[in-house]
Copies of this chain bind each other. A is one copy, B any other.
Amino acid sequence: MRKPEAKLDFAAIRAAHRRIRPHIHRTPVLTSSRLNDASGACLFFKCENFQKGGAFKARGATNAVFSLDDTAARRGVATHSSGNHGSAVARAAKLRGIPAHIVMPSNSAKVKVRAVESYGAQIVFCEPTQAAREAACAEVIAKTGAILIHSFENEHVMAGQGTAAVEVLEDVSDLDVVICPVGGGGLLCGTAVAAKSIRPEIKVVAAEPVNADDAAQSFHAGRLIHSKKKFTIADGLRTNVGAPNFAIIQQYVNDIVTVSEEAIVRAMRTIWETMKIIVELSAAVSYAAIIENKIDLVGKRAGIILTGGNVDLDALPWTQ
């Protein structure tokens, strides 16, 4: 259904920023002298956990939905997602006043289901496998004519995700590096194209759970590898990187590093305790890379995209 190549240029990201601005938060950039002292760097945390819906996903989904021409939009939109992208698409569709069909695995967290419902979207449940999700989504599209808004292979989604990096670079001068997690690669592509376009000398580094390290393996091998994954607690990063995303990553990204499960939990807890903000495990992966000294940051200025803050407070990783 998708072409293997996606184009992404900075003009598309600029256009996305103009398009989505009325519908998203310009999230703050926070700093912590304690975390600076601990890392020997100046860290600038872009708080997408404060974004609409609690995650950066609002940016890409909103851009994709509002990029449709009226004829296409009237057909409605569809996607499959167990997480933040599904509710972001549902919210964007509601804002635009068009139908949304969200395919969700039958074992999705109730809070995620309620979020999608609250935006008035149609939910289609399916078996919790990638194949079942894709099949159910294709069926919905065949039946309704809805437009697929893929969570990371869609170039409008990537362009929208890149607007977070634009804001970081507008708010913080002289950044040496920008760090974000990588799952499917939508955020990483947007971030890399935005950051390198605004500041060509900047380094773009992605962090990935070692238990879901297909992007790191692919990056270092120079070809797309879909590895059989072990379980990672960073549930937002279990996806394999997309083929169109990987092409952009190869062109723009400087490095992809991996982190342990233990470091992810420790990073999340440290951010909660020190910065007094709630970030989800997937959002803590960048700081986990700093804890584990995977990125040389001493004396450097680093922008870190904290991707989301949707956490089940009844199931915290340190109370399990």
Known contacts A28-B28, A30-B50, A278-B278: does B313 contact A273 (CB below 8 Å)? yes
Whether A228 is near chain B, meaning CB under 8 Å from some CB there, is: no
Check A262 for interface membership: any CB of B closer than 8 A: no
For residue A309, CB closer than 8 A to chain B, the reply is: yes
CB-CB < 8 A to A28: which residues of B?
A: 28
The verdict on A319 contacting chain B, using a C-beta distance below 8 Å, is yes
B309–A313 touching, CB < 8 Å: no
- A161 interfacial by beta-carbon distance below 8 Å: no
Whether the Cβ atoms of A276 and B273 lie closer than 8 Å is no
Shortest Cβ distance from A50 into chain B, in angstroms?
A: 6
Asked if A313 contacts B277 (CB within 8 A), the reply is no
Residue A17 interfacial (CB < 8 Å): no
Q: Is the CB of A318 within 8 A of B314?
A: yes
User: When A and B form their complex, which 4 residue pairs have the shortest distance between CB atoms, in order from nearest?
Assistant: A276-B309, A276-B278, A49-B276, A277-B277
Q: List 25 A-B contacts (CB under 8 A).
A: A28-B28, A30-B50, A47-B276, A49-B276, A50-B275, A50-B276, A54-B276, A269-B313, A272-B278, A272-B313, A273-B313, A276-B277, A276-B278, A276-B279, A276-B309, A277-B277, A277-B278, A278-B278, A313-B316, A313-B318, A314-B318, A314-B319, A316-B316, A316-B319, A319-B319
